Homo-oligomer: A and B are copies of this chain.
Amino acid sequence: MVRDVTRRPTILDVAARAGVSKSTVSLVLQGSDQVRPETRDAVRTAMVEIGYVYNRAAANLRSASVGLVGLVINDLRNPFFTQFATTLQMTLAARGYATVIANSDEDPALQARLVGSMIEHGVAGLVISPAYGSAGATFDQLARTGLPVLQVLRKTDPRTDLFPFASFDYAAGSVAAARHLLERGARRIAFVGGLPGRAITQQRQSGWRTVMAEHGLDTVALEGKPTRAFGMQVAGTLHARHPEIDAAICFNDLVALGLIAGFARAGRQVGTDFRVVGFDDIEEAAQSWPQLSSVACDIDRFARDTAARLLDWMVDARRPAPEILMPVALVTRDSSIAPCPCAASHPTRIQ
């Protein structure tokens, strides 16, 4: 009886070719050291010869470990999240895990479907930067599966014992930014961007509020979407209606870059009569002009740490700490310190 040639070869075909049993082939696949080297090589050769491809679905059915990790992000178009996703995926790939990446686009219903789909695909763990909104059912479902799940950058479910949370110490960054601007002579510092009522907006504002209160200074917060467009819009408002304001801490670098672009359009030069500090220190911050001061969140390190914590949990069943805040560093550049548009830039990293 001849085997159907159009069928994908299985370990049985490999076994027949190599003259061993399927169990031996399976052992070779798993890299077991209790197979004689000659046998192992013969099996490997047979695999190559007949073009065998491993069938993970079949393996998974029996052993329930999949080598697949889910990543759900609320806004994958934001370069900050893109960077996180990319580094996380590559770190996991280096450890032999494939990553299913999905964008919830800030939609809890879509997020629920995506998480459901990932559970079905049998992911071994999940990293989620959750969309805002009611996701109780989604997290309840995850709790029932007992899957390792990490909340990152945002915490929408308070059960950090079930869903450990990690983010950056934004409040400390906010303090550093405010102190720095005061030192450079600014007095009326506005906070620009960030959606009202959200935890992350409050965190990024909190240090600034504290420092301003310490110095008995008024605070103006112009809240809005964390986008370049909003930054540009605010530039117009500030220029026309709040000429007294001489500095801004922006919710993120996109807002800050929009603000700078808006000021430039109005013929006003950021860095001299107006100082700006952003959040995130995205790659572009060092390449814009003027170069943008920013509270640097080392997102690559954060992504690698996240991968490590997830792997610890998945592989060694070591549940990570319920809550971690990674330190941030203020990087000062032209947008907050330059005395003159033509001066060369020497970024300084403090704290």
Contacts and interface: CB of A to CB of B under 8 A. Distances in A.
B61 A89 contact: no
A238 interface: no
A86 interface: yes
Interface in A286-301: 287-290
A85 interface: yes
Residue of A51, A66, A100, A145 with most partner-chain B CB within 10 A: A100
Given A61-B58, A100-B100, A105 B90 contact: yes
Contacts of A53: 119-120, 145
**Copies of this polypeptide in the complex:** 2
Nearest to A341: B267
A82 to B, nearest CB: 5
Contacts of A76: 82, 85-86, 89
Interface in A54-83: 54-58, 60-61, 66-68, 76-77, 79, 82-83
A232 interface: yes
Interface in A64-122: 66-68, 76-77, 79, 82-83, 85-86, 89-90, 93, 96, 98-103, 105, 110, 113-114, 117-122
A120 B54 contact: yes
A56 B98 CA distance: 16
B287 A232 contact: yes
Contact of A99 (B86, B90, B100, B341): B100
Interface residues of A, number: 59
Nearest to A228: B287
B264 A57 contact: no
Contacts of A228: 283-284, 287
Given A93-B102, A101-B99, A144 B51 contact: yes
A186 to B, nearest CB: 23
A291 to B, nearest CB: 9
Contact of A101 (B96, B101, B144, B264): B101
Nearest to A113: B93
A5 interface: no
Nearest to A229: B287
A159 interface: no
A346 interface: no
A288 B261 contact: yes
B77 A66 contact: no
Contacts of A110: 93
Give me the 10 closest cross-chain CB pairs, A-B, nearest first. A261-B289, A101-B101, A57-B60, A228-B287, A264-B289, A56-B120, A57-B57, A265-B289, A76-B86, A98-B117
Given A77-B79, A261-B289, 17 more contacts: A51-B144, A57-B60, A57-B66, A77-B83, A77-B283, A86-B103, A93-B114, A98-B100, A98-B117, A98-B118, A232-B287, A258-B287, A261-B287, A261-B288, A264-B264, A265-B342, A267-B341
20 contacts: A53-B120, A55-B122, A56-B57, A57-B57, A57-B121, A76-B89, A77-B82, A77-B283, A85-B101, A89-B103, A90-B103, A98-B100, A99-B101, A100-B100, A228-B283, A228-B284, A229-B287, A258-B287, A261-B288, A265-B342
